[in-house]
Amino acid sequence: MRQAALICVVDPDPATQRSVGALLRALGAEVEVYATAREFLAQLPSAVPVCVVAESRLPDMTGIALLQELRARGLKIPTILLSADADVSGAVQAMRAGALDFIEKPYIDRALVTQVAPILDVDDHRAH
């Protein structure tokens, strides 16, 4: 029996934690939620997720910095950044840093499913 794939959500906003968590669980993922990048990074050695969904403006570092930290640790985990106050240059920076996607809140569900479903290897129509 295949174990559920782990996706980590890093976002201090409880509403986002709940909604994104619920969405990803609906896609069949196991979800762990962290409010800060530090908590998430501290947890990393025990379980490496198949995907990270992170707010681009975390309390302790930017989403781009988190992305760079993962790369520095040699972890090419697909990372999706979310942003409530996105601008074009921020989005471009994130993409240049290697983000899988950069999604504007609150219109995240459709885009998230589009990106995450292939990673989870599920039929993404199910969640539509």
Contacting residue, 24, 102, 112, 116, with another protein by CB under 8 A: 102
Asked whether position 87 contacts another protein by CB under 8 A, the answer is: yes
Instruction: Please report how many Cα atoms fall inside a 13 Å half-sphere around the Cα of residue 5, on the Cβ side.
Output: 18
Sequence-distant (≥ 6) Cβ neighbours of residue 84 within 8 angstroms: 55, 57, 104, 105, 106
Interface with another protein includes 72 (CB under 8 A)?
no
State yes or no: residue 124 binds another protein (CB under 8 A).
no
Cβ neighbourhood burial of 121 (10 Å; 0-12, 13-18, 19+): exposed
Determine if 95 is a binding residue for another protein (CB under 8 A).
Answer: yes
Per-residue DSSP letter, 52: E
Reading the block at residue 62, the tokens are: 């930017």
Minimum Å distance from CB 95 to another protein? Answer: 3
Residue from 73, 92, 110, 118 in contact with another protein (CB under 8 A)? 92
Structure tokens at 77: 């985990």
Residue of 37, 91, 113, 117 that binds another protein (CB under 8 A): 91
Residues making contact with another protein (CB under 8 A)? 83, 86-89, 91-92, 95-96, 101-104
